[in-house]
Amino acid sequence: MSRKFERKTKELLGGTSTLSIGTDKLFGTSAGFPHVVELDIDRVHRNPDQPRRHFDEAELRSLAASIDRYGLQNPILVRPLPQGDYLLIGGERRVRAHEILGRKTVFAILTSGDPDEIGLIDNVQRVDLNAVEYAAALARLVEKHGYTHDELAAVVGKDRTDITKLLAILTLPADMLEEYAASCTRVSRSVLIEIAAAPDDLRPALWEQAKEGASVKAVRQAKRDHAQGQSPSVREAGPHDPERTLQASVKRIIRDVAVVREQRHLLDTAHRERLLQLRAEIDAILQSAD
């Protein structure tokens, strides 16, 4: 952090630059008020149990462009460590974006909560984890705390049945999970859940069709055919048409923008940050298409 900021921090906190949770000396606020501090990035240590395993380079550069243009709308979350260092709890994409920009410091909020729980919730609230990352993070919480599915649902704000379905994803073959993580995250979470609920001998065929764009409806029909002893047919009518898919996606974006416009009074800070990122991504797409 800058010398001026560090000197002021020491003055406010009684001669030490190590910040603590719950101090109210900065602004006279209650102990529960989230304190924003400026930290040297090299004092922020990555969390080895970070839920997100895949970081898309294009998305990181888009986020960096958004931060460079509009500033950091949501500080990262950290937990104090001994010797004045900090453990990164939430916001690794934001830290990486700062590194792309060559920034030496980053704004952060101090937290004392469970790192795994806060890290998972922070990721889900901003940019969705892919299905396997989400399921793996849930499984770590179960292993760490011995949560039942009901307890875990309460922690992350999901229905118990959703938790059970998500955890079932981890029962898929290891090679399928690895292929998904490497190149098939376009397969929706709902489709992956349907495949996980299918008989073992049907899963490979469903997976191959899912990679070609089979919908949840088509996968469910194939499972019904299999249960009735019929030869399952997952393939939907007509070949995969990239131009058609693009047209449908653009129309869906336009519809979604109309909904956001109508409900803009409900936007919170996290929504605004994501919309700014999307605007930067759309600008980049349009510029590359010229």
Instruction: Read off the pLDDT of each residue in 67-92 and give the average, rounded to a whole number.
Output: 84
Statement: residue 288 has pLDDT above 50: yes
pLDDT at 133: 83
The average confidence (pLDDT) of the chain is 76
Confidence of residue 71 (pLDDT cuts 50, 70, 90): confident
State the pLDDT at residue 34. Answer: 60
**Residue ranges per structural domain of the chain:** 3-126, 131-227
| pLDDT for the residue numbered 104 | 92
- How many angstroms separate the CA atoms of 93 and 97, rounded? 6
**Domain 3-126 identical in fold to domain 131-227:** no
Higher per-residue confidence, 169 vs 12? 169
CATH of domain 3-126: 3.90.1530.10
Give the per-residue SS3 of the chain.
Answer: CCHHHHHHHHHHCCCCCCCCCCCCCCCCCCCCCCCEEEEEHHHEECCCCCCCCCCCHHHHHHHHHHHHHHCCCCCEEEEECHHHCEEEEECHHHHHHHHHHCCCEEEEEECCCCHHHHHHHHHHHHCCCCHHHHHHHHHHHHHHHCCCHHHHHHHHCCCHHHHHHHHHHHHCCHHHHHHHHHHCCCCCHHHHHHHHCCCCCCHHHHHHHHHCCCCHHHHHHHHHHHHCCCCCCCCCCCCCCHHHHHHHHHHHHHHHHHHHHHCHHHCCHHHHHHHHHHHHHHHHHHHHHC
In CATH terms, the fold of domain 131-227 is: Arc Repressor Mutant, subunit A (1.10.10)
Specify the pLDDT at position 119. Answer: 61
Phi/psi-derived region of residue 90, left when phi > 0, alpha when psi is between -120 and 50, beta in every other case: beta
pLDDT at 212: 84
What pTM, to 2 d.p., does this model score? 0.48
Q: Tell me: the pLDDT tens digits for 124-158?
A: 544 456 888 888 888 887 887 788 888 888 777 77
Confidence class of residue 73 from pLDDT cuts 50, 70 and 90?
confident
**Model pLDDT for residues 33-70, shown as the tens digit of each residue:** 566 788 999 999 887 766 566 677 777 887 888 888 88
The pLDDT, as a whole number, for residue 3 is: 47
Residue 106's pLDDT band, with cuts at 50, 70 and 90, is: very high
Would you state the pLDDT for residue 195? 94
Please give the residue that has the higher pLDDT: either 174 or 21: 174
Contacts of 156-164 spanning 24+ positions with Cβ under 8 A: 156/117, 156/120, 156/121, 156/124, 157/121, 163/138
pLDDT at 244: 65
- Averaged over 259-269, what is the pLDDT? 78
pLDDT tens digits, one per residue of 132-141: 888 888 888 7
For residue 101, the model assigns a pLDDT of: 92
Query: What pLDDT was estimated at residue 122?
Result: 57
